[in-house]
C-alpha cells in the first residue's frame, strides 16, 4: 500500500446516469484520479456536456446516449466501451428516480416504473459489465448508488424504498457470488445531496432547515459521494466487499436527533412553537 493506491490510473469505469448530479460528480472525480470513463446517460444534452467536462480534465471519455432500463441498449453500450478501452474494471450503477405518492394511490404502472429505474437497470448493467470483468481476469469493483431510504421507513416513497432495499441486499449477495473472481461489490447510500434537481425543488430557507437534520451541519455535495466512489474503485478498498457505506453527514446514525434551530444543541422529535422560537 502506498500513495498511488488511491489512484485508478488505466482502469476503465462505467458510470450510469453520469450526465448530471451524483453520477456526473463521480465520473469527473474518477477521471481526475486517472480512470478512463464511459458515461451511460439517456439525455442527449447531458451526454454532450458531461463528455466535454471530462475531456477538459484531460481524461479519456466515451459519452454514450443510453437508456439503461433497456437491456439491449446496455449490451450495445458495454460492447462499445470494450471496443474503445479494451477493459472494464469499475461499474457505478448510479441511475435512479423517484416520485412521492401514498402507497394506496400507487398504480402497478408506477410501481413497475420505479423498479425499472432503481433496481432492474442494475441487473442489465451488472450482468453485461461483470462478464467482461471475469473474462479480463483482473477482478473489479461494482458500486451501487442506493439511498438511506433503503434502510429506513419512507412514507410516501414505499415503492422507491423497496427498490433501494432490494439493491442493498443484491449488493451483499452478489459480493459473495463474485468474490471468487476478485470482484468486489459495495454500495453507497447518500441522504440529502445538493444536486441540480434538489436545488430546483428546495428554497434557500428549506435548504437551511435541512442542514439542521445533518450532524455535520451541511447538506452533501456530489463530490462527497464521488470521493467514496474513488475509494471503492481503488486498491485502498481491496479487502472491502458486501458493504453499504452511508455518505450522509451522519443522518443514518442520528436516527431522528437533529440540531435545534436556535442554538444547535441536539433534540429529538418535533418542537412546539415556543421551543422553536
Which residue do the cell numbers 470482484 mark? 183
Which residue do the cell numbers 442520528 mark? 254
The three-state secondary structure class of 132 is helix
Q: Cα(171)–Cα(144) distance, rounded to whole angstroms?
A: 7
Closest by Cα among 229, 228, 222, 226 to 193: 222
Catalytic, out of 160, 239, 258, 266: 160
Q: Are 80 and 12 in contact (CB under 8 A)?
A: no
Here the contacts of 252-255 (C-beta below 8 Å, separation 24 or greater) are 252/148, 252/151, 252/152, 252/189, 252/191, 253/215, 254/213, 254/214, 254/215
Q: How far is CA 208 from CA 20, 202, 214, 259, 262, in A?
A: 23, 10, 11, 12, 13
Give the 3-state secondary structure of 60-125: CEEEEECCCCCHHHHHHHHHHHHHHHCCCCEEEECCCCCCCCCHHHCCHHHHHHHHHHHHHHHHHH
Would residue 160 show up in a list of annotated catalytic residues for this protein?
Answer: yes
C-alpha cell at 225: 459521494
Q: How far is CA 81 from CA 58, 78, 212, in A?
A: 18, 5, 43
Q: Cα(102)–Cα(100) distance, rounded to whole angstroms?
A: 7
Residues belonging to the active site: 160
Amino acid at each position: 500500500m502506498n500513495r498511488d493506491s488511491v489512484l485508478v490510473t488505466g482502469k476503465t469505469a462505467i458510470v450510469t446516469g453520469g450526465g448530471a448530479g451524483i453520477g456526473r460528480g463521480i465520473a469527473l472525480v474518477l477521471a481526475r484520479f486517472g480512470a478512463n470513463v464511459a458515461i451511460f446517460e439517456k439525455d442527449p444534452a447531458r451526454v454532450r456536456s458531461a463528455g466535454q467536462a471530462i475531456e477538459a480534465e484531460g481524461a479519456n471519455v466515451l459519452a454514450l446516449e443510453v437508456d439503461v432500463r433497456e437491456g439491449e441498449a446496455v449490451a450495445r453500450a458495454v460492447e462499445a466501451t470494450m471496443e474503445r478501452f479494451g477493459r472494464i474494471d469499475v461499474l457505478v450503477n448510479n441511475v435512479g428516480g423517484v416520485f412521492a405518492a401514498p402507497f394506496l394511490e400507487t398504480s402497478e404502472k408506477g410501481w413497475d416504473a420505479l423498479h425499472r429505474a432503481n433496481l432492474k437497470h442494475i441487473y442489465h448493467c451488472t450482468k453485461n459489465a461483470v462478464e467482461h470483468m471475469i473474462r479480463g481476469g483482473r477482478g473489479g469493483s461494482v458500486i451501487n448508488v442506493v439511498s438511506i431510504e433503503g434502510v429506513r421507513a419512507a412514507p410516501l416513497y414505499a415503492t422507491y424504498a423497496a427498490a433501494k432495499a432490494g439493491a442493498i441486499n443484491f449488493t451483499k449477495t452478489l459480493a459473495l457470488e463474485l468474490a471468487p473472481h476478485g470482484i468486489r461489490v459495495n454500495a453507497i447510500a447518500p441522504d440529502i445531496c445538493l444536486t441540480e434537481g434538489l436545488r430546483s425543488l428546495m428554497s434557500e430557507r428549506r435548504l437551511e432547515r435541512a442542514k439542521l437534520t445533518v450532524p455535520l451541519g451541511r447538506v452533501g455535495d456530489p463530490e462527497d459521494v464521488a470521493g467514496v466512489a474513488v475509494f471503492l474503485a481503488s486498491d485502498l478498498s481491496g479487502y472491502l466487499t458486501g458493504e453499504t457505506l452511508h455518505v450522509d453527514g451522519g443522518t443514518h446514525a442520528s436516527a431522528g436527533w437533529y440540531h435545534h434551530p436556535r442554538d444547535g444543541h441536539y433534540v429529538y422529535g418535533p418542537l412546539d412553537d415556543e421551543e422553536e422560537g
